[in-house]
Amino acid sequence: MKRKDPGPESVRAIPSIGINEWFRPNDRELVENVLADMKALSIRELRTGISWSDFANGAHDQWYEWLFERLVREVRIPPCFVGTPENLALLPKSSAPPRDYKTYSEFVRTVITRFGNYLDHVELWNEPNNLYDWDWRLDPDWHIFAEMIGAAANTAHELGKKTVLAGMCPTDLAWLKLMFDRIGARSFDAVGIHGFPGAWEFDWEDWHRKVSDVRSVLEEYGSEAEIWITKTGFSTWRHDEHQQLRAFVKATEASVDRMYWYAARDLDPDLPAQGGFHVDERHYHFGLKRSDGTSKLLFRLWAQGGGSLRARSPSSRFNVPPELMAKSFVGGINQAGRNGYLGCEVKHLCRSLYAAAQPVAVPNVANLDLNLAAVRCGLSLLKRSQRCRSTCVLPSR
């Protein structure tokens, strides 16, 4: 049966929302910090990478034993298997294709055999059309990649796990069709897409167009695979945290089954990013929190909302239940405080706010949990702040 795209204006289900964070071997402190952040946000979905290169090393066995056991006590993980060991690669780098494509499926079998009780889905590679993850110059016709992923998908299904085709960045429909032609559309239970509007993709249209294009390919090949946004985010390297808030809200409105927000924390400024040490400053500022643990605007609004993001049906109209309507205003801003409607956090949106005559509208809490309501409320205030008066009285903490 074909999945109907509800269109950009229709009431649609909210995707299951998760966090996207990868961990360097033995960085247990970051793991604990991320789990604490996710608990504060009531999020239980974590996409994380499992490096084939590190896993094959043998020196990190205890790390992976601890990592899997620690994570699954609090979150659900769809691991992303990526990174060729240098001794198995055509060239000594993790983005190079393996000399023998079957070695990747052997790695997938090993991980599932050891940790399969913790897993429902496995993601096969990451951003293959990104040279940092797959050097397609060494595989220009994509034969090695297709054989490698096809064999790994068969192995995962044989062991009872669902598969996710690596997220493309940017989305390339011709590449997706090539993979379906080479491997078979039924080899995948979900198809990943990535998007970074305003961060790396400046010709961005909208999520509806991107998702609709991918869904049309799935329908063309008779695939019932889900569509996941396996990685999206916004870099605050220019201190524009309000744009990160906007990007998050837009991503939650995408007609997909899951959305993983990148990332929980900014990268450690003393360590190299994937492309090198501060080669691109944007890489270092995608977190909900800074590397020192201080919260950005999106995290504060999200955490103040309380509740969880497991609800599915947003209201098509914006109303505040009478029992939650605040009776007093400071500077025209509705102060709902601990009820999850932003409270005094508004002064972090802008130093001057428009003195609204009416309470701030938020999503109907009968259909949408309060933490997402708080984020959207913050976005509403942000839009008003663009018409602000410099003499506006700010609420005090």
Q: Render pLDDT for 65-90 as a digit per residue (tens, 0 to 9).
A: 999 999 999 999 999 999 999 999 99
- Predicted confidence (pLDDT) per residue in 31-43, tens digit: 999 999 999 999 9
- Predicted confidence (pLDDT) per residue in 173-199, tens digit: 999 999 999 999 999 999 999 998 877
**Residue 1 domain-assigned (yes or no):** no
Question: Domain check: are 290 and 334 in the same one?
Answer: no
Per-residue CA distances from 90 to 58, 145, 166, 234 (Å) = 21, 13, 21, 34
Q: Which residue has the higher pLDDT, 367 or 379?
A: 379
pLDDT at 333: 30
Evaluate whether 262 touches 289 at the Cβ level (below 8 Å). no
Check which CATH number belongs to the domain holding 53 and give it: 3.20.20.80
Question: Domain check: are 269 and 137 in the same one?
Answer: yes
Question: Domain check: are 286 and 339 in the same one?
Answer: no
**Residue at a domain's end among 274, 294, 314:** 294
**Residue 335 domain-assigned (yes or no):** yes
CA distance 231 to 325: 36
Question: Domain check: are 253 and 119 in the same one?
Answer: yes
**Residue 10 domain-assigned (yes or no):** no
Mean pLDDT of 2-16: 58
Evaluate whether 129 touches 81 at the Cβ level (below 8 Å). no
**Residue at a domain's end among 294, 314, 334:** 294
**Residue 115 domain-assigned (yes or no):** yes
**Residue 222 domain-assigned (yes or no):** yes
**Percent of the chain topping pLDDT 70:** 72
- Predicted confidence (pLDDT) per residue in 191-234, tens digit: 999 998 877 666 677 999 999 999 999 999 999 999 999 999 99
Per-residue CA distances from 393 to 332, 356, 379 (Å) = 8, 12, 19
pLDDT at 355: 33
Residue-number span of the structural domain to which 70 is assigned: 16-294
pLDDT at 180: 98
Q: What are the DSSP calls for 129-145, one per residue? A: TSTTT--GGGSTT-HHH
- Number of structural domains the chain divides into: 2
CA distance 356 to 354: 6
| Chain mean pLDDT for the chain | 80
Q: What is the 3-state secondary structure (H, E, C) of 47-62?
A: EEEEEHHHHHHCCCHH
- Chain-centre distance of CA 36, in angstroms? 17
Mean pLDDT of 260-278: 86
Question: Domain check: are 335 and 242 in the same one?
Answer: no
Whether residue 359 has pLDDT greater than 80: no
